[in-house]
Amino acid sequence: MNIAIFQMDIVFGNPEKNYEKLSEWMKNINADETDTIVLPELWTTGYDLTRLDEIGDKDGKQTTAFLQKIAKSYQVNVIGGSFAKQTDEGVFNTMIVVDRNGDLVHEYSKLHLFKLMNEHHFLQPGKDEPGFLLEGTEFAGFICYDIRFPEWIRKPVLSGAKVIVVSAEWPSPRIDHWLTLLKARAIENQSYVIACNRVGSDPDNEFGGRSIVIDPWGKEIAIASYQEEILYAEIDLEVSKEVRSRIPVFEDRRPDFY
């Protein structure tokens, strides 16, 4: 599977500008050699949290329709980062996945809200399961702070997930944590990790980029800079099976003790 990670700078609080930006980026990919694109967290608004009631997407309809059109036009799967979804229960930080036919195949709202950036004051925690099936392969999708909770990442892996996808707005001061945690999640779960982080800044934060693809051995396949770019990588979905057969971590687990 050929992956394109869109390491974008996000226009603060302006969904229409970000839709336009993504449309322009899509013109630069080679659709014949790209199966799946991955977007960053809150890519439509950035962390303009105090205005989410105003600029969030009501029931996710606009963003979903936009990504469905992208997927069908370019015949690519879209792991749509996340966006602010307005609902009657509040605003959720929601990832959607659309297949190359334009069908919505998965939705996941961020479970772990990051209090250091005041998410808990403006967002509701999700209750969704992270696992999904894409082109016959079991994936699991997570958002930013989720990766600090290895027990949450392990849950869909125990159900068969072989690819972990992460969308984030991870700040520059902790970018070393980002890389270390992602590598650990790949090694301990014997799974690919495909992680998309944003770059640029907003009024309160600077974001670190360094989007990355890691194989089930923990080896970096591709890693981005600190600037805007499209990061390309090819993953071999059979590698996870090979690693799990050589080091049978899942067979050797002792869940009766933990």
CATH number, position 92: 3.60.110.10
Task: Report the candidate in 198, 228, 77, 184 with the shortest Cα–Cα distance to residue 139.
Answer: 77
Q: What is the pLDDT of residue 60?
A: 98
Residues 112-123, mean pLDDT to the nearest whole number: 97
Q: Which stretches within the chain are classed as H helix?
A: 15-26, 52-55, 61-74, 119-122, 150-158, 175-189, 239-246
The pLDDT assigned to 215 comes to: 98
Does some domain include residue 194?
yes
To the nearest whole percent, how much of the chain has pLDDT over 90?
98
Residue 240, pLDDT > 90, answer: yes
pLDDT tier at 255, thresholds 50, 70, 90 = very high
Q: Beta-strand (E) ranges in the chain?
A: 2-7, 36-38, 57-58, 77-79, 83-87, 90-98, 104-109, 131-134, 137-143, 163-168, 192-197, 199-201, 206-208, 212-214, 220-223, 229-234
CA distance 258 to 134: 31
Is residue 254 assigned to a domain?
Answer: no
Residue 183 lies in a domain: yes
Looking at the structure of the chain, the number of domains it has is: 1
- pLDDT attached to residue 76: 98
- Annotated active-site residue 196? The verdict is no
The per-residue pLDDT of the chain, averaged, comes to 97
pLDDT-based confidence at 31, cuts 50/70/90?
confident
155-197 pLDDT, tens digit each: 999 999 999 999 999 999 999 999 999 999 999 999 999 999 9
Question: What is the per-residue pLDDT for 166?
Answer: 99
Do the domain assignments include residue 11? yes
Number of H helices and E strands in the chain, helices first, is: 7, 16
Residue 257 in domain: no
Polymer length in residues for the chain: 258
58 is catalytic: no
Pull the structure tokens for residue 37: 């694109």
Position 258 in a domain: no
Please tell me which residue in 107, 110, 119, 162 is annotated as part of the active site: 110
| Residue of 144, 162, 169, 196 with catalytic role | 144
Closest by alpha carbon to 149, among 107, 117, 124, 181?
181
Q: What is the pLDDT of residue 30?
A: 86
Domain that holds residue 129: 2-246
Q: Which residues pair with 246 in a beta bridge?
A: none
Nearest residue to 198 via CA among 163, 221, 166, 176 = 166
Is 134 a residue whose pLDDT tops 90? yes
Q: How would residue 32 be classed by pLDDT, with cut points 50, 70 and 90?
A: confident
- Among the options 41, 119, 138, 169, which is catalytic? 41
- At 85 the pLDDT is 98
* Amino acid sitting at position 101: N
Whether residue 116 lies inside any domain: the answer is yes
What is the per-residue pLDDT across 204-231, written as a single tens digit (0 to 9) for each? 999 999 999 999 999 999 999 999 999 9
Partner residues linked to 194 by β-bridges: 165, 213
> Cα angle at 169 between 50 and 216, to 5 degrees?
150
Report the C-alpha gap between 34 and 47 in whole angstroms.
29
C-beta of residue 214 within 8 angstroms of C-beta of residue 221: yes
Residue 148 lies in a domain: yes
What's the average model confidence in pLDDT over 97-122? 97
For the segment 44-54, the average pLDDT, to the nearest whole number, is 97
Q: How far apart are CA 237 and CA 221, in angstroms?
A: 13
